Amino acid sequence: MLGWGYYWAINRSYDITYRQQYFTERGFAHHIDFRGKPREGTDFDATFYGVNDKGIQVGDTIQKQGGYLVTVDGRSILGKGWEARGQINYLSSYLFRQNFTESFHEAVMSESHSTGFLDKHWSSFGFYGVFDYDLLFLSTNEDDKIGIRKAPEALFTVRERPLFEKVLPVYFSLESSGGLLGRREPGFQTKPFVERADLEPHVSTAFSFKGFHIAPSFGIRETTWGASVTQEGTLNGPSVFRNARDVSVDIVLPSLSRIFNAPKWTGAEKIKHVFETRATYRYATGIEDFNEVVRFDSTELMSNTNQIEFSITNRFYTKNKNGVVNELVSWQVLQQRYFDPTFGGAIVPGQRNVVLSSAEVTAYSFLDQPRNYSPVVSVVRLNSRVGMEWRSDYDPLRGHVVNSSLSADWRKEKYFVSLGHNQVRNDPVLSPSSNQFRGMVGLGNENRRGWNAGFSAYYDYRIQVLQYALTQVTYNTDCCGFSVQYRRFNFGTRNENQFRIAFVVANIGAVGTLKRQERMF
């Protein structure tokens, strides 16, 4: 690899940076960063990255894996409460990202999101004008992707505001939207503009009685779509109108607590154990066309339901000599019980189903058949010398933990360690199995004099492959620093080793192939 760069301060409001790399086996890579601040309250940052790939031998053919990525971030304060913001991410192909990005996280991220909106807030009201395009790449094949477009869509919201409070406080809120949408994927394409309007007013109240807190609410949801999926599976069927009603009651029981002398390892004087319980009942009806609407976002996930959710939370608080209180440990366990196991006929046996109720309880799908309960969701958090979070789902129907995600971080002075594990043991109909580990260990920081070193890796236990590894050694003096970095990529179509170096002079610049955003130190 050979590379060079040029920075040009055009004037007080704009600058541009151009970097070029030459890969002797693949061709030229171009990186352009154009920034501007035309006036006070308005700024943008536009980035272009592209590769003219000569191709690589794949079987008996030469496969070109080049492409480009365009990213634009901008905002503008327009005055009188109006503000415009936007982010454009356009990726020409997932094959290009997987093979030429220098970030492991970006290489395995198969989504691209572009959003622009105009908004204004006043009192408890809010207005948004939205342009949005979401792209999900299913594989590295050129046309194997799902695109969902909202262009444009208008949203009007009302945050909870009191209607009257003399006898019993009653609050009103509103969510509403209307716009033109479209969806395209292999074997599935709507007409260019599908009309959708959604109106969801809610009234709620809250009261307490001897430590019990009760918050009931009632809502009506009117939604119409300009197209539908017919029973034969074809698109662009007749319009659909939905009239749904939603009742929920949130009950919080009195919390129980007790104070103890704190163990020495906590570094505190007292520790307080708090036991909290909560139950939420929800009933929704009027949705008889769940499988006829085209899926654009969570609006289409609402289904009939008759359910109750139970939640138990244990919290441990510490208090030191100065009276500072911190939450040391928390453990929440929750589960949903369904009195309508088919969700009004929305569940199709033998396939992956996602409804609003399941999406609210866990990020992992579990509905491949009618069922009366969700998995038991457990979330444990530790905030001490070690920061740790462990999320797991135990499914009584399958008799084992189906999903588990663990992350832990520790830092003391110049030393740091970070560990993580993610495992999915589900039915193949719901999601593919996975079992991955990540780890990072290091000594030092960006500004520390002397030797600094770090190592990070991602290992896929299921296929027994080290997918990514990074090692960096840096030596800093008062004015200069020298870094050597080794990276290993092994996933998808990418199998390569990289050696990069950088020599940095404080407040002047850097020479080498290791860019600043890619360094560990």
The DSSP secondary structure of 439-490, one letter per residue, reads EEEEE--TT-SEEEEEEEEEEETTTTEEEEEEEEEEEE-SSEEEEEEEEEEE
**Pick from 513, 499, 502, 419: nearest CA to 457:** 419
User: How high is the pLDDT of residue 267?
Assistant: 79
Q: Are residues 384 and 514 located together in one domain of the fold?
A: no
Domain boundary among 395, 410, 432: 432
pLDDT given for residue 235 in this prediction = 66
Identify the residue whose tokens are 């949903």: 336
pLDDT value of residue 249:
97
Same domain, 281 and 414: yes
How many alpha carbons lie under 13 Å from residue 386 in its C-beta half-sphere? 13
The amino acid that residue 501 corresponds to is: I
Tell me how many degrees the CA angle 451-452-456 measures, rounded to the nearest 5.
150
The residue range of the domain holding 412 is 255-432
Are 399 and 422 members of one domain? yes
* Contact between residue 350 and residue 429 where contact means Cβ atoms under 8 Å apart: yes
Q: What is the pLDDT of residue 506?
A: 87
Instruction: Please indicate, yes or no, if residue 518 is contained in any of the structural domains.
Output: yes
Q: Are 207 and 174 in contact (CB under 8 A)?
A: no
Task: Output the tens digit of pLDDT for each of the chain's 521 residues.
Answer: 888 889 999 999 999 999 999 989 899 999 999 999 999 999 999 999 999 999 988 788 888 999 999 999 999 999 999 999 999 999 999 999 999 988 888 888 889 999 999 999 999 999 999 999 999 999 888 889 999 999 899 999 999 999 887 778 999 999 999 999 999 988 888 888 999 999 999 999 999 988 899 999 999 999 999 988 876 656 667 889 999 999 999 999 999 999 999 888 877 888 999 999 999 999 999 998 898 899 999 999 999 999 999 999 999 999 888 888 999 999 999 999 999 999 999 999 999 999 999 999 999 999 999 999 999 999 999 998 899 999 999 999 999 999 999 999 999 999 999 999 999 988 889 988 999 999 999 999 888 999 999 999 999 999 999 999 999 999 999 899 999 999 999 988 788 899 999 999 988 888 888 888 888 88
Is the separation of the CB atoms in 48 and 35 below 8 Å? no
Distance, CA of 356 to CA of 278 (rounded, Å): 20
Q: Number of structural domains, the chain? A: 2
- Say yes or no: 410 and 327 in one domain: yes
Query: Considering the domain boundaries, does residue 317 fall inside one?
Result: yes
Assigned domain for 246 exists = no
Partners of 367 in the beta sheet? Answer: 353
What is the per-residue pLDDT for 192? 87
Which three-class secondary structure state does DSSP give residue 137? strand
pLDDT at residue 233 in the model = 53
Q: CA 158 to CA 124: how far, in whole Å? A: 6
In sequence order, the 6+-apart residues with CB closer than 8 A to the CB of 123 are none
Query: Could you tell me how far CA 397 lies from the centroid of its own chain?
Result: 28
Q: Please tell me the pTM assigned to this model.
A: 0.87
Largest CA distance in the chain: 80
Whether residues 474 and 426 fall in one domain:
no
Domain termination site, one of 411, 432, 453 = 432
Question: How far does Cα 447 stand from its chain's mean position?
Answer: 31
Residue 106 has what pLDDT? 87
Task: For residues 518 and 104, give the distance between their C-alpha atoms in angstroms, rounded to a whole number.
Answer: 11
Within-domain flag for 182:
no
Q: Please answer whether residues 219 and 356 qualify as being in contact, where contact means their C-beta atoms are separated by less than 8 angstroms.
A: no
Q: Does residue 424 sit within a domain?
A: yes
Per-residue pLDDT at 232: 60
State the CB neighbour count (10 A cutoff) for residue 412: 8
> What is the Cα Rg of the chain in Å?
27
pLDDT score recorded for residue 191? 87
Q: What is the pLDDT of residue 234?
A: 61
Residues 331 and 385 occupy one common structural domain = yes
DSSP letter, residue 99: H
- What pLDDT score does 362 carry? 94
Q: Is 337 found in the same domain as 471?
A: no
34/74 Cα distance (integer angstroms)? 12
Do 450 and 350 sit in the same domain of this protein?
A: no
CA distance 387 to 18: 40
Is 498 contained in some domain?
Answer: yes
State how far the alpha carbon of 224 is from the alpha carbons of 286, 298, 300, 301, 386, in Å: 13, 15, 11, 14, 50
Could you tell me if 268 and 379 lie in one domain? yes
Domain identity same for 288 and 423: yes
* Whether 388 and 496 share a structural domain: no
Q: Is residue 94 part of a domain?
A: no
Q: Which of 407, 432, 457 is at the close of a domain?
A: 432
297 plus 325 within the same structural domain: yes
Is residue 16 situated within a structural domain? Answer: no
